[in-house]
Amino acid sequence: MHAPDAPLLPNFLAGRWQRGIGPGQTLFDPVLGAPLVRVDNTGLDLAEGFAFAREQGGAALRALRYRERAALLAEVVKVLQTNRDAYDDIATRNSGTVKNDSAVDIDGGIFTLSHYARLGEALGDATCLLDGERIRMGKDPLFQTQHVLNPTRGVALFINAFNFPGWGLWEKAAPALLSGVPVIVKPATATAWLTQRMVEDVVRAGVLPAGALSVICGASAGLMDALQPFDVVSFTGSADTARLIRSHPAVAQRSVRCNIEADSLNSALLDPAVTEGSEAFDLLVKEVVREMTVKSGQKCTAIRRVFVPRALYAATAQAIGAKLAKTTVGNPRNEATRMGALVSREQFDNVVAGIAKLKTEAEVLYDGSAAGLVDADPVVAACVAPVLLGTPDPVGAKVLHEIEVFGPVATLMPYDSEAQAYELVRRGEGSLVASVYSNDPAFIARAVAELADSHGRVHAISPDVATSHTGHGNVMPMSLHGGPGRAGGGEELGGLRALGFYHRRTAVQASSAALDALAATGVPFRP
């Protein structure tokens, strides 16, 4: 469906606003089905735009100290806070999210920027990062090695997913800009409006140097071709597109550094010693329900597989189902709605098809669709009610460990021994996060030893942190985000660790006097 009368959003590239000359793609309200805006980048001179960012934006950013770039991030925070109401409105209309879910995206982005502004301030007036101590290489103590990290003299291209148009931009842009690397963002088309609007507000406020921040909306054709050896690309999206990015000549031949965040079948694991109705049991139930319903399950970190001792299978299904029954689904503008829509009717079709695939190996333990939608037409709205599936035979299952259904869907699976539980969790072949629920620190330590290598994050929930833990699916800027294997093998955030992606490490072998002079320009890198 195309709506040629919907307003066309301009791109910002080469320091100027530019509209595509093609018909563009229309963005829709996923609840009402109404056309909203169009995006298009046909006819844009990408080579010119990338060169402008690389040369003008990069030079201007690198001329600043970490502290000064951190101050820029703080200015961006102010701009976003000033315009927050507009973002909320766009999120309701284009992402179909209730206010709390929109906040995860909008305020999550602002919080992450603020965090990096604080971290950057502490790096002071340095212009490079000193990695480790000096190392003697022979008998002569005067000739030593110092590893040093300098910002790459390229652009950072972000190709983002549809589920976090706000946070997805800023969680990557904050460490990039703090590093001194200009950003070009290509948001996923379905929800590009919020990203475009945030960039527009920051550009119009004039807080960043020319070329530091650009936005290209619409088709992805030609973006990877524009990359040169010192550029970096950070991709978030499906494993299929990730394969194309990885095999593109920019990465395969020109060694463009590449970070991939892709599909993930995250797990929740209950300690075998936990009993029904105990605090740890209740914490698992609460977290699973939250993860299934926040942003309608459209979070890369959402719990997809739930592992409990076999004796608790029925009780867990019953407890999760009882809580899910309180989730009203429908139009986010209606106060009675707790969970809004998926981002598009296309995603609706994908989720319905995904549930059908999972059902070939699982039974339905809870299905909220009988309750109907609040204030929304089921023929038009991209609303899916929460569905809890389950199988008594997780060992024999295949697709349940392979297919990520990007919606309010999870599968409950019983295990027969602790060793089998770890084996089943690992069948996800690398995930962003596993959460474990237990009263027992020794069990948590064992679970970490078994699961850490296949997970970017292990989130342990015990009764003593019931009110203070940050949530299975919440990505905190101080902790690493990313996962091995199926999850893409990427690493983001983790405080100052994120700066590593945007810097090049060099071994400087020189005299003590030369290294003293170098050290005066740097600050120890202590992530």
Residues that bind ligand NAP (CB under 6 A): 159-163, 186, 188-189, 220, 236-238, 241, 244, 261-264, 300, 404, 406, 432, 487-488
Of 186 and 426, the one with the shorter C-beta distance to ligand NAP is 186
Our answer to whether residue 300 is catalytic in this structure is yes
Q: How far apart are the first and last CA of the chain?
A: 48
Could you tell me the smallest distance in angstroms from the CB atom of residue 169 to ligand NAP? 11
Q: Which residue matches tokens 């962003």?
A: 432
Residue 329's beta-bridge partner residues?
339
CA gap 261, 282 in Å, rounded: 31
Could you tell me the smallest distance in angstroms from the CB atom of residue 301 to ligand NAP? 7
Could you tell me the smallest distance in angstroms from the CB atom of residue 93 to ligand NAP? 18
Could you tell me the smallest distance in angstroms from the CB atom of residue 504 to ligand NAP? 24
Of 56 and 241, the one with the shorter C-beta distance to ligand NAP is 241
Task: Name the active-site residue from 300, 361, 450, 491.
Answer: 300
CA gap 401, 368 in Å, rounded: 23
Could you tell me the smallest distance in angstroms from the CB atom of residue 451 to ligand NAP? 17
C-alpha torsion sign, points 178, 73, 496, 197:
negative
Burial class (CB in 10 A: 0-12, 13-18, 19+), 526: exposed
DSSP 440: -
Of 207 and 223, the one with the shorter C-beta distance to ligand NAP is 223
Could you tell me the smallest distance in angstroms from the CB atom of residue 25 to ligand NAP? 8
Of 95 and 163, the one with the shorter C-beta distance to ligand NAP is 163
Our answer to whether residue 200 is catalytic in this structure is no
Task: Name the active-site residue from 171, 261, 291, 404.
Answer: 261
Q: How many residues does the chain have?
A: 527
User: DSSP secondary structure string, 174-199?
Assistant: HHHHHHT--EEEE--GGGHHHHHHHH
Of 387 and 444, the one with the shorter C-beta distance to ligand NAP is 387
Strands of 387-390's sheet in order across: 363-367, 387-390, 409-415, 303-309, 266-270, 431-437, 455-461
The candidate with the shortest Cα–Cα distance to 308, out of 437, 457, 440, 439, is: 437
Of 69 and 115, the one with the shorter C-beta distance to ligand NAP is 115
Query: Which pairing describes strands 143-151 and 503-511: parallel, antiparallel, or unpaired?
Result: antiparallel
Q: Distances from the Cα of 398 to the Cαs of 300, 387, 395, 401, in angstroms?
A: 20, 19, 8, 6
CA gap 73, 518 in Å, rounded: 27
CA gap 148, 501 in Å, rounded: 14
CB 406 within 8 A of CB 350: yes
CB 223 within 8 A of CB 186: yes
Could you tell me the smallest distance in angstroms from the CB atom of residue 70 to ligand NAP? 24
Residue nearest to ligand NAP (CB): 237
Angle formed at CA 97 by CA 192 and CA 406, multiple of 5 degrees: 75
At 322, list the tokens.
């009882």
At 213, list the tokens.
């921040």
Could you tell me the smallest distance in angstroms from the CB atom of residue 237 to ligand NAP? 3
Of 40 and 263, the one with the shorter C-beta distance to ligand NAP is 263
CB 282 within 8 A of CB 467: no
Could you tell me the smallest distance in angstroms from the CB atom of residue 1 to ligand NAP? 16
List, by residue number, the catalytic residues.
Answer: 261, 300
